[in-house]
Amino acid sequence: MPYVVGDRGDIAAVVFGDPLLAPPDENRGNKILWVSRVPQEAGDPLKIEAYLDGSGTPVLREVPGGPGPSGIDLPKAGCWHLTLRWSGHVDTLNLRYVSP
């Protein structure tokens, strides 16, 4: 199973929808399981601030209830730099989305 570990090692993105597609495919989702290595507060959301390489405009996403299963769609193909915030923690990682 493909996965990416955050730069600090506090979170991992397990990519069930590999490859991640932008725009998303109608028949399958961009499924990511977020796994936190550090303690989290129940119900605290995972907030995602994503930047496409070469772009200064962030795309915001949120996973209600914190790290766990999600479907994260992003608007364009390319390498995305994500800043992840949950329960007082911050980590970063890169995810690649490709054209269908």
Question: Residue 17 is part of a domain; what is its CATH number?
Answer: 2.60.40.10
Q: How many CB atoms lie within 10 A of CB 91?
A: 20
pLDDT recorded at residue 48: 98
pLDDT recorded at residue 91: 98
pLDDT recorded at residue 17: 86
Task: Count how many domains the chain has.
Answer: 1
Domain residue limits at 75: 3-98
Q: How many CB atoms lie within 10 A of CB 97?
A: 22
Residue 96 near residue 81, CB atoms below 8 Å = no
Residue 55 near residue 82, CB atoms below 8 Å = no
Could you tell me the CA-to-CA distances from 46 to 17, 41, 59, 78 in Å, in that order? 19, 11, 14, 22
Each of the 100 residues of the chain gets a pLDDT tens digit; together they read 999 999 999 999 999 989 999 999 989 999 999 999 999 988 899 999 999 988 888 999 999 999 999 999 999 999 999 999 999 999 999 999 999 9
Q: Phi and psi (nearest 5°) for 23?
A: -70, 160
